[in-house]
Amino acid sequence: MISIGTLKDGLYDFMDALCTHQDLDFTIQWAQDNQNKCDLPRIELSILSLPSVGTPIQLSPDDDGFATLVQESNFILRILAAGENSLALCTLLKMAQYVPEVIEDLREDTGLSILNSTEPTNVSGFNDQYVEERWTIDLTFTFAYNMEDIDVGVIEHIELTGELENIDGSLRTIPIFTVDKPA
């Protein structure tokens, strides 16, 4: 199972690499970490939801009945950029999903892929006595994680027998299954 810490570390590294690559100087912090807001320019990250998608895929069980299940999940990352170049950063994030190098690096480093994004939204407001430039964008990511050594059981023997019965004037075989499962 993937931990929220692993996700946060990978997303932090992704944002840091993107800013460094474009010579943007932002301090990155998580919005819900009960810390004071750092100086401008800054990026605040929030994971909004983390639902599983669909049914897990079961890989073939081993001889003892243990298998690996692969589960896909999506999540939304809200990015709030505040200070100089906030719009530039949000526009860069909007375009990042179309740059093959960014997609490949993100997948290799974190196992994440960008599904889509919203348009950058201006949420500028007053901070003390001046207007603080702020822009926000939501990115939807997808990833898969393995749940290993799940006991799915092994059936060693199945016997199918039946009896002929007269049902509405025709003879039919009624199947009877006998399943032997190891103790």
Domain-located, residue 116: yes
Domain-located, residue 69: yes
Q: Facing residues of 27 across strands?
A: 42
Domain-located, residue 18: yes
Domain-located, residue 161: no
The answer, yes or no, to whether residue 68 has pLDDT greater than 70, is: yes
Write the pLDDT tens digit of every residue in 127-163. Answer: 777 888 999 999 999 888 777 777 777 666 666 666 6
Q: Which of 116, 137, 135, 146 is nearest to 6 (CA)?
A: 146
Domain-located, residue 51: yes
pLDDT value at residue 79: 96
Please give the residue range of the domain that contains residue 24: 4-154
Write the pLDDT tens digit of every residue in 17-46. Answer: 888 888 999 999 998 767 778 888 999 999
The answer, yes or no, to whether residue 118 has pLDDT greater than 90, is: yes
pLDDT value at residue 105: 85
Packing angle between helix 4-21 and helix 100-110, nearest 10 degrees?
150
Domain-located, residue 87: yes
pLDDT value at residue 64: 76
